[in-house]
Amino acid sequence: MPGSATANGFLLVLAVILPFAGVLVSLALGGRNAERVALIVMPAGLAIALAIVVAVWRTGNALQYFVGNWKPPLGVAFRADGLSAVMILTSALLICGIGLFARAQFSTPLVFWTLLLAVWGALNGVFIGGDLFNLYVALELLTFAAVPLVSLDGRAETLAAALRYLLFALLGSILYLLGAALLYGAYGTLDIVLLSARIHAQPVAWAAISLMTVGLLAKAALYPFHLWLPPAHAGAPAPASALLSGLVVKAPFFLVVRLWFDVMPGMPERATAQILGVLGAAAIIFGSVVALRQARLKLLIAYSTVAQIGYLFLMFPLAVRPEGGYPWSTAAWTGGILQAISHAFAKAAMFMAAGLIAEALGHDRIAGLSGIGRALPITVLAFGLSGLSLMGLPPSGGFVAKAMLLTGAVAEGQWWWALVVLVGGLLAGGYVFLVLARALGDPIEPLRLSAQVSRRRQAVVMAVALCAILLGFAPLRPSDFLQIGRPDTGIVGLR
Q: What is the pLDDT of residue 321?
A: 60
Question: What is the DSSP secondary-structure string of 244-259?
Answer: IIIIITHHHHHHHHHI
What is the pLDDT, as a whole number, of residue 4?
Answer: 63
> Count of H helices and E strands in the chain?
21, 2
% residues pLDDT > 70 (the chain): 94
- Check if the beta carbon of residue 434 is closer than 8 Å to that of residue 292: yes
In three-state secondary structure terms, 464 is helix
The Cα 319–Cα 331 span in angstroms is 8
pLDDT at 326 (0 to 100): 53
Identify the burial level of 274 via C-beta atoms within 10 angstroms of its C-beta, where 0-12 means exposed, 13-18 middle and 19 or more buried: middle
Q: Is 50 exceeded by the pLDDT of residue 115? A: yes
Q: Using alpha carbons, select from 347, 301, 345, 312 the residue that is nearest to residue 469.
A: 345
Question: 45: helix, coil or strand?
Answer: helix
If one counts every other C-beta atom within 10 angstroms of the C-beta of residue 260, the result is 22
Structure confidence at residue 494 (pLDDT):
33
Report the alpha-carbon distance of residue 49 to residue 18 in Å, rounded: 11
Q: What are phi and psi of 206, to 5 degrees?
A: -65, -40
Whole-angstrom Cα Rg for the chain:
21
- Residue 266 host element (H or E): none
How confident is the model over 110-125, as a mean pLDDT? Answer: 93
Q: Facing residues of 365 across strands? A: 296
Burial label for 254, CB within 10 Å (0-12, 13-18, 19+), is buried
What pLDDT, in 10s, does the model give residues 307-321? 999 999 999 988 876
**Residue 392 phi, psi (nearest 5):** 85, 35
Residue 129, helix vs strand vs coil: strand
pLDDT band at 442 (very low <50, low <70, confident <90, very high): confident
- What mean pLDDT do residues 359-364 have? 90
Statement: residue 472 has pLDDT above 50? yes
Out of 12-26, 149-163, 348-362, pick the least confident.
149-163
**Average pLDDT score over the chain:** 89
Angular region, 278: left φ>0, alpha ψ -120 to 50, beta rest: alpha
Q: Nearest CA to 45 among 14, 6, 80, 21?
A: 14
Reported as a pLDDT band with limits 50, 70 and 90, residue 39 is very high
CA distance 90 to 49: 9
Q: Give the per-residue pLDDT at 347.
A: 95
Distances (CA, A) of 426 to 205, 292, 391, 464, 474: 40, 11, 7, 24, 23
pLDDT for the residue numbered 486? 75
φ and ψ of 167, to 5 deg: -65, -45
Cα–Cα distance between 455 and 379 in angstroms, integer?
Answer: 9
Strands 77-80 and 63-66: antiparallel
Q: At what angle do helices 331-361 and 455-470 cross, to 10 degrees?
A: 160
End-to-end CA distance of the chain: 19
Whether pLDDT at 5 is above 70: no
In Å, how far are 43, 46, 438 from 443, measured between CA atoms? 42, 42, 9
Query: What distances in angstroms separate CA 367 from CA 361, 427, 430, 437, 446, one per listed residue?
Result: 12, 19, 15, 10, 15
What pLDDT was estimated at residue 451? 80
Return the pLDDT at 71: 82
List beta partners, residue 78.
65, 129
- Residues 450, 359 contacting (CB under 8 angstroms): yes
Residue 311's nearest CA partner among 330, 285, 331, 346 is 285
For residue 428, which of 417, 420, 440, 438 has the smallest C-alpha distance? 420
CB 363 within 8 A of CB 399: no
Estimate to the nearest angstrom the gap between the alpha carbon of 407 and the chain centroid.
Answer: 23
For the segment 99-108, the average pLDDT, to the nearest whole number, is 80
**d(Cα 388, Cα 433) in Å, to the nearest integer?**
10
Geometric angle at alpha carbon 245, from 406 and 106, rounded to 5°: 155
Residue 495: what pLDDT? 29
The pTM score is 0.93
Examine the pLDDT at 273 and tell me if it is beyond 80. Answer: yes
pLDDT over 60 (residue 99): yes
Rounded-to-integer distance, Cα 413 and Cα 415, Å: 6
Query: What whole-number distance in Å separates Cα of residue 339 and Cα of residue 484?
Result: 19
Span 212-235, pLDDT tens digits: 999 999 999 999 999 999 999 988
Q: Given this model, what pLDDT does residue 278 score?
A: 95
CB within 8 Å of 324: residues ≥ 6 apart: none
pLDDT of 73 over the 90 cut: no
pLDDT surpassing 50 at residue 36:
yes
